[in-house]
């Protein structure tokens, strides 16, 4: 069973929120973020242009996290952006 776009956004939001709140994570979480962003982008059924506009940035964040020597430093450096993404998803799903 595949996840709906809303389910994928919820999962994406949860992982991004966890990174933001704890300032730590794993490369496998970054890989999951990347897969979710690509899947949502490829779906194209979302009429929420704000989400579609931020997904390339989320994908870039996760790709850099997969390659980062210090994943926690990468997350901390991007904490402000993580907060913005979580708030945007919350406002559009609310």
Residue of higher predicted confidence among 29 and 41: 29
| CA 17 – CA 21 distance, rounded (Å) | 6
pLDDT (0 to 100) of residue 67: 96
pLDDT over 90 (residue 10): yes
| Pair of tokens at residue 46 | 């979302």
Residue of higher predicted confidence among 94 and 54: 54
């Amino acid at each position: 069973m595949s996840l709906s776009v809303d389910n994928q956004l919820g999962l994406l939001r949860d992982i991004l929120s966890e990174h933001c709140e704890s300032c730590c994570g794993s490369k496998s979480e970054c890989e999951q973020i990347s897969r979710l962003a690509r899947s949502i982008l490829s779906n194209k059924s979302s009429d929420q242009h704000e989400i579609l506009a931020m997904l390339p940035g989320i994908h870039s964040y996760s790709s850099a996290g997969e390659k980062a020597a210090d994943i926690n430093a990468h997350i901390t450096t991007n904490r402000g952006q993580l907060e913005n993404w979580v708030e945007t998803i919350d406002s559009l799903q609310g």
